Structure 1
Amino acid sequence: MIGEFLQDGEGDARQIAAETLAASPWEHEEFAHLIAWMRDYNRSHPQHKVHFMGDDISARKAGDRLFARVIDYMREAHPEALQRLDTL
């Protein structure tokens, strides 16, 4: 959800942070400001966009969906590393 927000800029940084990071250690106003700054940077630097990647076990809504995206990326970009990723 945060990654999509950074790329297309739709929505509100505070709401994205609240929905994605509720009840996690990252649910702070400063993190919402960071997300907004990253989106603004991407708008100003379309050729050098930043991305948000990560998984925090305490961010309940992020886990499975995020990990599936990592696996999909690895399958396309680095298929030789998939077996090692499965062992982690």
Structure 2
Amino acid sequence: MGRFYCDRAYWLMTRDLLVLTGKILEGPVEPDMAIDLPTSIRGPGLTPIHSVQEVTFEDRPPELGLVIEMHHLEKAPLMEPSHLEKRELKVV
């Protein structure tokens, strides 16, 4: 099991993606693993990670990003990505 610290969360509506940027705190975090987007904050629970990649920004250094396809979030339509920010999330 791993842990990921989510610093920021972004909807990329034009690509139907949710991107969580931050850092790996423990263990492996790889594509096809699942990240726990807690139901306590209206998340869907365990959700597949589509990819793990470097995300670049114009105004700050690159960060590690976990990419989640939007169709995995359909069972949690009220989830607000900002509620994932500044949290440790479990990865299995």
Structure 2 length-normalised TM = 0.28
Q: Which has the higher contact order (CA 8 A, sep 6+)?
A: 2
Query: Larger % of strand: which?
Result: 2
Query: Larger % of helix: which?
Result: 1
